[in-house]
Amino acid sequence: AQTVTQSQPEMSVQEAETVTLSCTYDTSESNYYLFWYKQPPSRQMILVIRQEAYKQQNATENRFSVNFQKAAKSFSLKISDSQLGDTAMYFCAFMEDSNYQLIWGAGTKLIIKP
């Protein structure tokens, strides 16, 4: 069975710093998707970034980028120039190509301090 592990329950950095959130997963599949979702206190689940496993190039969305290491089954999220609005829970999630159910990590609470 697929599993997703986020080993950092909570992280805290100063505004404008760079922070990296870690995520590892376990699967025997070769085709899959990986996601980072953000859940601020408003509880709306927002997609931050997605990565298709068949793509070697790391996904980037403005200040957000991933380091996707397929062989190591690692999918970390880097947030550059962090902002107060980045304060939220961040969830890493895995989805098989043929099954649209998400497998979720436990989440990392990120606090950006002014």
Partner 1 sequence: SAVISQKPSRDICQRGTSLTIQCQVDSQVTMMFWYRQQPGQSLTLIATANQGSEATYESGFVIDKFPISRPNLTFSTLTVSNMSPEDSSIYLCSVHDPNTGELFFGEGSRLTVL
Beta strands in the chain (DSSP E): 3-5, 10-14, 19-21, 24-26, 32-39, 46-52, 60-61, 64-69, 74-79, 88-96, 102-104, 108-113
User: Taking the complex as a whole, how short is the minimal distance between the CB of residue 16 and partner 1, in angstroms?
Assistant: 28
User: H helices of the chain, where?
Assistant: none
User: Taking the complex as a whole, how short is the minimal distance between the CB of residue 15 and partner 1, in angstroms?
Assistant: 25
SS3 of residue 86 by DSSP: helix
Region from 13-21, 68-76, 78-86, 98-106 binding partner 1, contact rule CB under 8 A: 98-106
Q: Judged by CB under 8 A, which of 7, 45, 61, 113 binds partner 1?
A: 45
Q: By C-beta, is 17 or 54 nearer to partner 1?
A: 54
91/46 Cα distance (integer angstroms)? 10
Q: Judged by CB under 8 A, which of 52, 60, 61, 113 binds partner 1?
A: 52
**Which x/- pattern, by CB under 8 A, does the window 5-44 give for partner 1?**
----------------------------x-x------xxx
